[in-house]
Each structure stands twice: as structure tokens, then as C-alpha cells.
Amino acid sequence: MKKDKSLLNRNEIIRYLGYRNQEPDEIMLEEIKICEDEFYKVMDPKFHYEVFDLKREGGRLMLSDESFEFIGENIKKHLSGCEKVAFSCATLSEGVDELIDQAQKEDMLMAFIYDAIANAVVEEVRAKAEFSVANDYPDYFCNWQYGIGYGDLPLSLQPLFLNRINAKETIGLTCNDRCLLVPLKSVTGFIGLSKKEQKNNGCNQRSCLTCNNQERCIYRKNDMEY
């Protein structure tokens, strides 16, 4: 995808820095601006997705070719009523990881800001992937990307997910032996596609209310909604 400064959403960056009901002072805003400029130089945002048919058999949910089975009740709820699923992933590049690592050795404030910027930007890229899926499948209703590791969806599915869509070859995304993504500032997950709009099951609403970490999260939106 094209590198775009609009990905640097200042309001989201400030939220990821932990500001709630207040604005950073002028000194902090200047630090953020400096970090944004450096971050933009190294980021290389990419996303990739592939869409598959779903198959249900008893209480099991899997791809139609049975090459991947969805584990956990939360993801089954997310994909309830869906005929298809998009395996979607996004990354910001190894350069971003290196920038944060270097800052952690030299200036922890800058490292903190870089990390907040990365979290905000990767969410913007994820949202662009969701929009692209919806645009490519106009005859379907698309819900939001449910990440691997959310709720009771095990992180151990990460390697199979990445292999299934050739993420290494398409956007350079892999995972280590602990199933953590490499580059670290990346996201993976599932977007459900249905012929009928899904209501009253929560699967088509991206909300802090669905997150297991809502009570401890310093990034939570005030209205509890994304």
C-alpha cells in the first residue's frame, strides 16, 4: 500500500500515550511531532488478505477445505451467520521495530512515543484492510477484524494462519517460536463476510465491551466504543 501521512492519526497517537480527558502540553506535542517525522521515514505499511468459504460440522467451524479449524467460542460468535471469512494481516516493517529498539537504548520517552505511534498506525492499516475487503466483496456484509489471541482464540494458531495465506512471501510477516509476530508491530485476524447483516450477536460491532482487558486498559475509549 502507499505510504501516507494520514496514517499518523494524531488523536489516536495521543490516546495510545495514555492521555484521557486532557491534552499534551506544547513540549510534549513537539516531541510527538519530531517522533512522527522520524517514524514516517522508516515505516513501510502493508496488508494482505485472502477470503475463504466456511464450513460447519456439528459444533466445529473450519474452512471448507478443512485446512484450518477455528478454536474458541468467541471466534465462532464473531463468525456466526457468515458464509466466508477473510484471513487478514498488516505490518509496519522491521524498520519500525529497529527504531523503537534503538530508542529504548537512548531515550525512553521517545521509545514510548514511537510505540504509541506504531500502535495507532497499525490500527489504521488494519482498518484499510477491512475497507478493502468490504470494497472487494460489495455483495457481503463485513464485520471487523477479530485478532488472533483475542478472547479464547489461541495465539498458537498464528503459524498455521500465516502459512495458509503465505504472509512471509506477500508482506514479509512471520512469527517466532512463541507465536509472536515478526515484525512485532503487526496484526493478524479474521473478518467475517455474510449475505445478511448480522444483528444482536455483537459480531459486527467492534467495541471495548468485547475485550477481556477492558477494566485494565489505559487506551480504552471513554464511551467504551471504537
pLDDT along the chain (226 residues), means of 10: 91 93 92 97 97 96 97 96 97 96 97 98 96 96 95 96 97 97 97 81 45 47 45
What pLDDT, on a 0 to 100 scale, did the predictor assign at position 221? 53
Q: How many CB atoms lie within 10 A of CB 132?
A: 17
The DSSP secondary-structure symbol of 87 reads: E
Contacts of 203 (CB under 8 A, 6+ apart): 77, 78, 79, 80, 81, 82, 143, 192
What pLDDT, on a 0 to 100 scale, did the predictor assign at position 2? 82
- Class of CATH domain 5-210: alpha beta
Domain boundaries, the chain: 5-210
100: left (phi over 0), alpha (psi -120 to 50) or beta: alpha
Q: Are 8 and 39 in contact (CB under 8 A)?
A: yes
What pLDDT, on a 0 to 100 scale, did the predictor assign at position 1? 84
> Which pTM does this prediction carry?
0.86
What pLDDT, on a 0 to 100 scale, did the predictor assign at position 154? 96
Closest to 17 (Cα-Cα) out of 218, 162, 174: 218
What pLDDT, on a 0 to 100 scale, did the predictor assign at position 137? 97
